Amino acid sequence: MKLSGAQAIVKVLLEQGVETVFGYPGGQVIPLYNALYDAPLHNVLTVHEQGAIHAADGYARTSGRTGVCIATSGPGATNIVTGLATAYLDSVPLVAITGQVQVQHLGRDSFQEIDIVGVTIPITKYNVLVRRPEDLLPTLRQAFRLAQEGRPGPVLVDIPSSIQSGEVEWLEPEAEQAEKQASENIEDVLKAAAVTINNAERPVMLVGGGAIHSAAEKEVMDFARKTGMPVVSTLMGLGVFPGSDEQALGLTGMHGHIASNMAVANADVLVVAGSRFSERVTGDRNRYVSKKTIIQLDIDPSEVDKNVMTALPLVGNLKDTLTLLTSRVHKLEIKPWWESIRAWGETEDQSAKKGDKLTAPWLMTELNRNYQGTDTIFVTDVGQNQMWAAQHLLIDKPRHHLTSGGCGTMGYGLPAALGAKLAKKEAQVVHIAGDGGFKMTGMELYTAVNEGLPLVSIVINNCCLGMVRQWQEIFYDKRYSSTILTPFDFVAFARSCGADGVTAKTCEEFKAALAQAKEANKPFVIEAVIDQCDLVIPMVAPGAVIHDFVDPGQK
Contact between 182 and other proteins (CB under 8 A)? yes
Q: Report d(CA 172, CA 259) in Å as an integer.
A: 56
Question: Measured from the CB of residue 160, what is the shortest distance to other proteins in angstroms?
Answer: 14
Contact between 134 and other proteins (CB under 8 A)? no
Please identify, using beta-carbon distances, which residue of 64 and 355 lies nearer to other proteins: 64
Contact indicator for 206, 234 with CB cutoff of 8 Å: yes
Contact between 126 and other proteins (CB under 8 A)? yes
Q: Report d(CA 218, CA 348) in Å as an integer.
A: 30
Please identify, using beta-carbon distances, which residue of 211 and 224 lies nearer to other proteins: 211
Contact between 61 and other proteins (CB under 8 A)? no
Contact between 118 and other proteins (CB under 8 A)? yes
Which of 134, 167, 201, 305 touches other proteins (CB under 8 A)? 305
Q: Report d(CA 521, CA 453) in Å as an integer.
A: 8
From the list 552, 253, 543, 542, the residue with the least C-alpha distance to 391 is 253
Contact between 151 and other proteins (CB under 8 A)? yes
The helix/strand/coil state of 545 is strand
Question: Measured from the CB of residue 294, what is the shortest distance to other proteins in angstroms?
Answer: 17
Contact between 41 and other proteins (CB under 8 A)? no
Which of 107, 167, 173, 181 touches other proteins (CB under 8 A)? 181
Q: Report d(CA 213, CA 419) in Å as an integer.
A: 18
One character per residue 317-346, x = contact with other proteins (rule: CB under 8 A): x-----------------------------
One character per residue 363-402, x = contact with other proteins (rule: CB under 8 A): ----------------------------------------
Count CB-CB contacts under 10 A for residue 479: 8
Stretch that binds other proteins, among 65-73, 87-95, 314-322, 450-458 (CB under 8 A): 314-322
Stretch that binds other proteins, among 92-100, 113-121, 286-294, 540-548 (CB under 8 A): 113-121
Whether residue 538 is preceded by a cis peptide bond, meaning omega within 30 degrees of 0, is yes
Question: Measured from the CB of residue 36, what is the shortest distance to other proteins in angstroms?
Answer: 28
How many of the chain's residues bind other proteins (CB under 8 A)?
A: 25
Question: Measured from the CB of residue 303, what is the shortest distance to other proteins in angstroms?
Answer: 9
Contact indicator for 198, 329 with CB cutoff of 8 Å: yes
Please identify, using beta-carbon distances, which residue of 287 and 306 lies nearer to other proteins: 306
Contact between 146 and other proteins (CB under 8 A)? yes
Question: Measured from the CB of residue 450, what is the shortest distance to other proteins in angstroms?
Answer: 37
Please identify, using beta-carbon distances, which residue of 301 and 452 lies nearer to other proteins: 301
Contact between 106 and other proteins (CB under 8 A)? no
User: Residue 493 burial (CB < 10 Å; 0-12/13-18/19+)?
Assistant: buried
C-alpha distances in angstroms, 162 versus 23, 101, 106, 372? 20, 8, 11, 52
Question: Measured from the CB of residue 301, what is the shortest distance to other proteins in angstroms?
Answer: 6
User: Residue 117 burial (CB < 10 Å; 0-12/13-18/19+)?
Assistant: middle
Contact indicator for 257, 265 with CB cutoff of 8 Å: no
Span 421-450, contacts to other proteins by CB under 8 A: none
Which ranges in 302-359 belong to alpha helices (H)? 318-326, 335-346
Contact indicator for 389, 364 with CB cutoff of 8 Å: yes
Contact between 138 and other proteins (CB under 8 A)? no
3-state SS record for 169-222: ECCCCCCCCCCCCCCCCCHHHHHHHHHHHHCCCCEEEEECCHHHHCCCHHHHHH
Q: Report d(CA 514, CA 424) in Å as an integer.
A: 21
Residue 110 gets which letter from DSSP? Answer: -
Contact between 311 and other proteins (CB under 8 A)? no
Stretch that binds other proteins, among 31-39, 53-61, 92-100, 123-131 (CB under 8 A): 123-131
Q: Report d(CA 424, CA 401) in Å as an integer.
A: 13
Which of 222, 268, 279, 300 touches other proteins (CB under 8 A)? 300
Contact between 117 and other proteins (CB under 8 A)? yes
Contact between 107 and other proteins (CB under 8 A)? no
Q: Report d(CA 256, CA 348) in Å as an integer.
A: 11
Contact between 127 and other proteins (CB under 8 A)? yes
Contact between 30 and other proteins (CB under 8 A)? no
Which of 121, 171, 484, 515 touches other proteins (CB under 8 A)? 121
Composition of the chain by helix, strand, coil, percent to 5: 40, 20, 40
Beta strands in 5-61 (DSSP E): 20-23, 42-45
Question: Measured from the CB of residue 178, what is the shortest distance to other proteins in angstroms?
Answer: 12
Residues that bind other proteins (CB under 8 A): 117-118, 121-122, 125-129, 146, 149-151, 181-182, 299-302, 304-306, 315-317
